[in-house]
Structure 1
């Protein structure tokens, strides 16, 4: 018996009155979150949904997310978290692909009518006549509303009315699937990574014990909880620590800094663009730096070295940069407390995890590399759901190949060169965008940079830099291209430069290079 919901249940038993979740003026204790999760489990059981079934959850960082998530787990079912930006057609695809029998969906806002999209996708995936066609539960934007604006749809509160607040958690095995996390689908259709209770629980434990925290901690939950980084490092590890989670449904740098000061946040975890945005808010708008912050964690994409140095200087705290993927639960490596931190490195493998560099034929690459990172350990997924061929392409003898190209120094620290798919081939030469972005970030006028390859008739690809300038900076695109020519090798400097006010990003804050291309 092993069920990921133990991270909530143990905390609720030992510290029932401690605040688990904060959203604005709303504060929910561990006891209340656990009771609501039990009601969700009872609801699913009453609908004949339990061990082995799949249940989808589409919700931003609101109190609904944790208690529905853990309620699904308590029932023995598998959670399928959905990106809140998905359209109806995409929701239908995810429901069909995962074979989900029910959907808990946030009502949304006029700008993001998630409830309408979710219901349309659910009707498409589970047409009338399906035994679970009524198992769509709306999470209303108005707290505790029992009436739904969608005809024939129940709100969660009306569905939970009268159900017991106690539930005996299903006896799931360590290797049973707890969560199916869908990859971003940058190539082809998104695939669902099957993560077991052991995968997710071990990763939460390792993440929790890795950070040197003092107790009575407060985590700022700006990372989407439907994403693996926020789910493991913030929610699951936070609940295991008995921490308080301050929920942020939509990241805005000034508001995030204000919440950190008001709530006494001790741990912040974010993607690089969040760090960049907070620094911009401090430098350009004079936002005050929070005094209580003890630990800053970065992941999800490579953190530019200039941003890392600026944060450490401005906030007085080092940034612990790590690395992982949905397929690895997600944490695989970190610059860990108690060991030297190396700027620009993703650190060393976390406890119980092995990493190595491999070539195209799975051959091990010794020494510095470069090579593709392969990972083995308690964090590696069972495989892609219902996709044995896709699983076989990336897994062999327990090793998972990541698609990320890296080097390794003499101390065993890994450094990402770039995503293999982002590599640019210009005139037969391999060019790694991250290297160029790091150089661009040293220019006094550059605030943020993203480099991509664009089609070229003779070179195959030409190199183009998209740049966001610092406030008040004065430099032309031609001048910046000329500076690049002076500071980079002739075969790899960006001939093309375009200034932007912003970059397209995913819901988790990663730059969408495919849209820039």
Structure 2
């Protein structure tokens, strides 16, 4: 890698512990707290204090070591969201082994694929996960031990029995010495919106850098709401950020807009980590006023950009809301940019400035020329937060000649070095030679009062290439027509961006578990 004035640098002076052991890092932070609440189920209001969380993780870690779990092993966890999930993950990391998660809702084909990638030796699951996938799990000879978070069965050893004997937790240190820059702590998975997920190897150093709480030091922030699952980079490391800061994390089992609003009211949430679709719902939902939402100060959104009109509407509806911040994230390198780091505060349409420890460039993907401000190209990233690599995939397929990661995202940075994401390259619609970004059209559609959700893809047509075509979920109690929406967009965009493929109404937009639109399914509907 050679220096270039067009590279954009996040803060390169990042303080991390010299041992570079994620297990020791998080344990040291947990031990600073005692009987303060660490985790709360927002549905049942069951709680786990920092002391209880620490004791559980340490006891389980010691017990796992006694049955042979060690550095170099892969230990899988498959379960619904529950209080034991986070300390179980930490127990695995304390042993020096590598943790990998399997999503209860991912489906059979993807589970088989993930198992074939990581080949875990130990599998910790809930009885619900076991009953759902027992036949698949028992097909894999690599798994030597099955352990349940619930009551033991003939085939499942119980975590409860493992940690029933009291161990000396006060003087426990993670027993394995790790090489933090190379040893893998987590194997997470890419979102798999266009194919099977890839195994993303995150080192101990990667995990520490993703968990530093510096961006949420504000003492007025006490309680964070995590919307998604603990299988994803975003929700996982936002949880560790807040636990590192000694604050409370609240979750709910089946998140909906209504359950989120109820949770803010009852748990006095002051910062919420959401996906864009839920922020959009907040702008139009009926009955918001029946909840006490004054505690909520910050909404943080990641996955796709929010329209400025949506942000302003939500701010008006939530009386205590100070900011809606946006970030740009991916499993491979955490959060390349965020408005948290914006020196001029939030900027409409942007996803903020480069995050600490990262270097970003924008490149013309056809010529490999590095581009300057306000020039659109592929965003590429490098730095110490970047993953060790994909499992079983040649790095030359995803790194360029300077070892920058080719994100596949189309965007630019402005004169203030704030980044703007236009869309995924593979999702760009080409109409009559013009490039049309679906995200831009979706943002406009979502400002219409009759639209609850929107997704845009290209419909193949002779001569012109692709025509922008919208799939729309109507807002309840509205009678908006397809022509009305086509005309609405036409008034806002250049002629080549108009919805020449029309509008198709659906009951719901297909999304993956991270809330990302499954555009491939929508394209198949047009064929």
TM-score (norm 1): 0.90
Note the alpha carbon deviations across 1:32-86, whole angstroms, 9 max, x for none: 1111112322233223221122111223331121111101100101111222212
Q: 1:30 to 1:337 in 2, by over 3 A?
A: farther
1:119 aligns with 2:134: yes
Of residues 194, 197, 221 in structure 1, which corresponds to 2:201? 194
Name the residue aligned to 1:491: 496
Name the residue aligned to 1:415: 420
User: How far 1:89 sits from its partner (Å)?
Assistant: 3.5
Name the residue aligned to 1:309: 312
1:222 and 1:249 in contact (8 A); partners too: no
Partner Cα separation in structure 1 for residue 105 and residue 90 of structure 2: 22
Name the residue aligned to 1:477: 482
Give matches, 1:17-32, under 5 Å: 17-23=35-41, 24-32=44-52
Q: 1:479 to 1:337 in 2, by over 3 A?
A: closer
Name the residue aligned to 1:155: 158
1:83 aligns with 2:96: no
Partner Cα separation in structure 2 for residue 121 and residue 276 of structure 1: 38
TM-score (norm 2): 0.88
Of residues 259, 264, 267 in structure 1, which corresponds to 2:263? 259
Q: Secondary structure at the match of 1:357?
A: strand
Give matches, 1:317-328, under 5 Å: 317-328=322-333
Give matches, 1:326-475, under 5 Å: 326-336=331-341, 339-360=344-365, 361-389=367-395, 392-475=397-480
Q: Secondary structure at the match of 2:148?
A: strand
Using the TM superposition, name which of 68-77 and 504-513 deviates more: 504-513
User: How far 1:188 sits from its partner (Å)?
Assistant: 3.5
Note the alpha carbon deviations across 1:356-389, whole angstroms, 9 max, x for none: 1012253311231101111122211111122125
1:220 and 1:267 in contact (8 A); partners too: yes
Name the residue aligned to 2:12: none
Q: Secondary structure at the match of 2:121?
A: strand
Name the residue aligned to 1:143: none
Q: 1:287 to 1:280 in 2, by over 3 A?
A: farther
Name the residue aligned to 1:244: 248
User: How far 1:222 sits from its partner (Å)?
Assistant: 1.6
Q: 1:363 to 1:210 in 2, by over 3 A?
A: same
Name the residue aligned to 2:57: 37
Partner Cα separation in structure 2 for residue 247 and residue 84 of structure 1: 17
Q: Secondary structure at the match of 1:72?
A: helix
Q: 1:506 to 1:287 in 2, by over 3 A?
A: farther
Note the alpha carbon deviations across 1:409-447, whole angstroms, 9 max, x for none: 111111111011111122333211112122223334223
2:211 and 2:240 in contact (8 A); partners too: yes
User: How far 1:396 sits from its partner (Å)?
Assistant: 4.2
Q: Secondary structure at the match of 1:310?
A: helix
User: How far 1:16 sits from its partner (Å)?
Assistant: 1.6
1:12 aligns with 2:27: no
Give matches, 1:503-514, under 5 Å: 503-514=509-520
Name the residue aligned to 1:177: 184
Partner Cα separation in structure 2 for residue 60 and residue 497 of structure 1: 37
| Alignment length (residue pairs) | 495
Partner Cα separation in structure 1 for residue 31 and residue 463 of structure 2: 67
1:199 and 1:379 in contact (8 A); partners too: yes
Of residues 116, 134, 147 in structure 2, which corresponds to 1:137? 147
2:96 and 2:177 in contact (8 A); partners too: yes
1:98 aligns with 2:104: no
- When the two chains are superposed, the root-mean-square deviation of aligned CA atoms in Å is 2.2
Partner Cα separation in structure 1 for residue 494 and residue 131 of structure 2: 52
Segments of structure 2 that go 5 or more residues without pairing to the other structure are: 1-18
1:3 and 1:73 in contact (8 A); partners too: no
Using the TM superposition, name which of 478-487 and 349-358 deviates more: 478-487
Q: Secondary structure at the match of 2:92?
A: helix
Q: 1:289 to 1:370 in 2, by over 3 A?
A: farther
User: How far 1:284 sits from its partner (Å)?
Assistant: 4.8
Using the TM superposition, name which of 50-59 and 483-492 deviates more: 483-492
Q: Which has the higher contact order (CA 8 A, sep 6+)?
A: 2
2:342 and 2:353 in contact (8 A); partners too: no
User: How far 1:299 sits from its partner (Å)?
Assistant: 0.6
